[in-house]
């Protein structure tokens, strides 16, 4: 049997905080133990798991914990000190040293500039989509609901929770959907999930979509497309028209389900017209197909009357409705939900009986208390007004500083807009903006198929920015236009 020595106790400190690290030393390998220990610590430092300023265990401590000779630890430490990974300070101990990271190669620098995911130290305004305004968030009220949830009597705190989700929350969601979206449903039809992607994965199991054809808007939400692909679905991209997805393509297809964002198409922003909604419902009734309606940010509409959900028009229960608290409340609560047609509840019971609920019951109970208290409704009203002011400031700044050099796309609702830029590629504007400290994004990943049009768009999210930052960011971005 392989003999392995490991440390399992807390033996390092950073700023007084104890840190655990666990080297494995294999005594059966021909490589000396001191070399194995040296290689392990070196890699931990290079991978930023042992950070500069961390106090290492003394030679005596490490010798005792690893049950190795003093020479083994001493040799490893001496080599690491010689190479600059550790430093010994008299009467203080042995510490992880500051090491200079290797500089990027020229091609790596280009990639870092062009990547949407790489942070930049000189970014002063970041138009990232998905952020929410934290300054106006009712932290005190939310903390109280969390505390009250934990303080509730009986032993629920020591249980896993209801597999379908806490009944109190499902009841509050049902009431909220009836009042705000015209969706009539019972708590028994609602399933709590940890996000839209989790919802889609569950739907794929219920509808048995593996190796089936599924329609998606083109462009459309890449996070959902990835789940469909991972679940073995064949995706049929449906082109968009001025009033939403092309029904001609849907009617001539053999898809089993259609994923759609009818109230605010993502990312282009148009609304699915009432005539197309009726046509889409007729298609579902005639073929037995299902419509997956993602109503991801319906709370934030700034122009015109509120748009009823597709689900509210569904008379034969062929629409599966998806909702989330990520945009209206907090992304970090990881709280979304599905409204299933009654006909699918049997399949749900059968196919999900061995799955536990993925959302913490504490979060669910706190959210139900937050809604019951009226705080959620007040929060939505405040945020709608706040986001509308930000939205207006963004459009005004673009009009005043960019003029006819850009075209605004999808400006009536939600927490983002697209700009169709003229005289320059979107990728060039993204790169030039980043050099001046403004980060904007390419929506090209939302297209499934290559399309020249996608290269002319940039995406600006504004939810997490102040009006001052919005105006400043647009001004800098405008200076990058030809």
- State whether 116 and 79 are in the same domain: no
Report the pLDDT value the prediction gives residue 106, as an integer from 0 to 100: 43
* CATH code assigned at 89: 1.10.10.10
Angle at the Cα of 359 from the Cα atoms of 357 and 365, rounded to 5 degrees = 105
Report the pLDDT value the prediction gives residue 100, as an integer from 0 to 100: 62
User: Considering the domain boundaries, does residue 237 fall inside one?
Assistant: yes
pTM of the model: 0.73
- State whether 222 and 256 are in the same domain: yes
- State whether 164 and 126 are in the same domain: no
Looking at 44-48, 308-312, 345-349, which range is the least confident one?
A: 44-48
Range(s) of the domain holding residue 441: 107-132+381-478
195, HSE (Cβ side, Cα atoms, 13 Å)? 10
Please name the residues in contact with 270: beta carbons below 8 A apart, sequence gap of 6 or more: 240, 242, 243, 244, 410
Report the pLDDT value the prediction gives residue 304, as an integer from 0 to 100: 61
Range picked from 26-40, 105-119, 246-260, 320-334 for highest mean pLDDT: 246-260
- State whether 26 and 173 are in the same domain: no
Number of domains in the chain: 3
- State whether 209 and 313 are in the same domain: yes
- State whether 87 and 182 are in the same domain: no
Average pLDDT over residues 77-101: 82
Q: Are 245 and 217 in contact (CB under 8 A)?
A: yes
Q: What is the pLDDT of residues 102-157, one digit of tens each?
A: 444 444 433 444 444 444 447 889 999 878 787 788 889 999 999 999 988 777 77
- State whether 281 and 311 are in the same domain: yes
Which of 25, 385, 335 lies closest to 199 in space, CA to CA? Answer: 335
When pLDDT is cut at 50, 70 and 90, the band that residue 21 belongs to is: low
- State whether 122 and 144 are in the same domain: no
* CATH code assigned at 404: 3.90.1150.10
Residue 53, pLDDT > 80, answer yes
- Average pLDDT along the chain: 85
- State whether 53 and 30 are in the same domain: yes
Q: What is the pLDDT of residues 167-180, one digit of tens each?
A: 999 999 999 999 88
Report the pLDDT value the prediction gives residue 97, as an integer from 0 to 100: 87
User: Considering the domain boundaries, does residue 101 fall inside one?
Assistant: no
- State whether 308 and 431 are in the same domain: no
Report the pLDDT value the prediction gives residue 103, as an integer from 0 to 100: 46
Q: What is the pLDDT of residues 415-447, one digit of tens each?
A: 899 999 988 888 899 999 999 999 999 998 899
User: Considering the domain boundaries, does residue 102 fall inside one?
Assistant: no
- State whether 321 and 361 are in the same domain: yes
Q: What is the pLDDT of residues 274-315, one digit of tens each?
A: 999 999 999 999 999 999 999 987 777 766 666 778 999 999
Residue 32, pLDDT > 90, answer no
């Amino acid at each position: 049997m392989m003999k392995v020595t490991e440390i399992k106790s807390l033996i390092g400190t950073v700023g007084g905080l104890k840190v655990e690290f666990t080297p494995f030393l294999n005594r059966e390998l021909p490589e000396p133990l001191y070399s194995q220990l040296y290689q392990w610590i070196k890699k931990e430092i290079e991978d930023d798991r042992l950070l500069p300023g961390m106090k290492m265990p003394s030679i005596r401590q490490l010798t005792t914990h690893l049950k190795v000779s003093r020479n083994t630890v001493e040799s490893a430490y001496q080599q690491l000190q010689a190479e600059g990974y550790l430093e010994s300070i008299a009467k203080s101990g042995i510490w992880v040293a500051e090491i200079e990271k290797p500089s990027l190669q020229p091609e790596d620098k280009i990639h870092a500039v062009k990547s949407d995911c790489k942070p930049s130290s000189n970014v002063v305004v970041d138009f990232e989509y998905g952020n929410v305004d934290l300054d106006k968030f009712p932290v005190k009220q939310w903390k109280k609901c969390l505390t009250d949830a934990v303080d509730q009597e009986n032993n629920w705190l020591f249980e896993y929770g209801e597999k379908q989700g806490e009944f109190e929350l499902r009841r509050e969601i049902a009431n909220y959907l009836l009042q705000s979206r015209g969706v009539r449903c019972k708590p028994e039809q609602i399933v709590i999930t940890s996000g839209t992607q989790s919802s889609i994965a569950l739907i794929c199991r219920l509808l048995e979509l593996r190796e089936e054809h599924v329609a998606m808007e083109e462009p459309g939400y890449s996070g959902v497309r990835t789940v469909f692909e991972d679940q073995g679905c064949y995706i049929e991209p449906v082109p968009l028209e001025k009033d939403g997805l092309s029904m001609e393509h849907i009617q001539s297809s053999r898809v089993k389900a259609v994923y759609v964002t009818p109230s605010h198409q993502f990312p282009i922003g148009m609304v699915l017209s009432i005539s197309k909604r009726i046509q889409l419902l007729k298609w579902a009734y005639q073929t037995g197909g299902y419509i997956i309606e993602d109503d991801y940010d319906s709370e934030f509409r700034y122009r015109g009357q509120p748009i009823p959900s597709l689900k509210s028009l569904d008379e034969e229960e062929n629409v599966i409705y998806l909702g989330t608290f990520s945009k209206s409340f907090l992304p970090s609560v990881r709280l979304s939900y599905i409204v299933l047609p009654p006909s699918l509840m049997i399949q749900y019971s059968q196919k999900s009986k061995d799955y536990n609920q993925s959302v913490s019951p504490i979060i669910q109970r706190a959210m139900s208390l937050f809604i019951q208290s009226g705080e959620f409704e007040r929060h939505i009203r405040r945020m709608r007004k706040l986001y509308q002011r930000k939205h207006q400031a963004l459009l005004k700044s673009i009009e005043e500083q960019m003029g006819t050099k850009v075209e605004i796309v999808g400006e009536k609702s939600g927490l983002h807009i697209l700009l169709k830029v003229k005289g320059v590629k979107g990728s060039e504007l993204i790169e030039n903006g980043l050099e001046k400290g403004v980060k904007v994004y390419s929506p090209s990943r939302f297209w499934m198929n290559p399309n020249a049009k996608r290269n002319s768009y940039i995406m600006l999210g504004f939810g997490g920015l102040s009006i001052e930052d919005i105006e400043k960011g647009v001004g800098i971005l405008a200076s990058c236009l030809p």
